[in-house]
């Protein structure tokens, strides 16, 4: 694939836009347990984001990224992201 004008071009027949129909980081077990994916970010920012979400009344969970959890159209980006980023999930804190 090559990049041009904000799009990735596969075999040259049609552009594939990263924002269209691409599923990134599917974590069915976490989502089934009520977690919602909030962001994927550099590990140096995770502590700050966890603090913000905790102060807003959320539980937080971070996961390393696995290329197999990305949609088929994201293989190239997934390999790069998985080596450098973490995913942050949140859910409302249980009432005590």
39-43, 52-56, 74-78, 90-94: which range is least confident on average?
74-78
Residue 45 included in any domain: yes
Segments forming the whole domain that contains residue 58: 26-92
Residue 8 included in any domain: no
Mean pLDDT of the chain: 74
Residue 44 included in any domain: yes
Number of domains in the chain: 1
Residue 17 included in any domain: no
Backbone angles phi, psi at 74, to 5 degrees: -110, 15
CA distance linking residue 33 with residue 92, whole number of Å: 11
> Quick one: pLDDT at residue 9?
39
Residue 4 included in any domain: no
Kindly report the pTM of this predicted structure. 0.65
Cα atoms found within 13 Å of the Cα of residue 49, Cβ hemisphere only: 18
């Amino acid at each position: 694939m090559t990049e041009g004008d904000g799009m990735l071009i596969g075999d040259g027949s049609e552009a594939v836009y990263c924002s269209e129909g691409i599923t990134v980081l599917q974590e069915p077990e976490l989502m089934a347990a009520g977690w919602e994916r909030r962001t994927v970010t550099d590990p140096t920012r995770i502590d700050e984001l966890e603090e913000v979400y905790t102060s807003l009344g959320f539980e937080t969970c971070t996961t390393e990224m696995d290329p197999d959890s990305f949609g088929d159209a994201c293989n190239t980006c997934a390999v790069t992201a998985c080596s450098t980023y973490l995913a942050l999930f949140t859910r409302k804190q249980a009432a005590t």
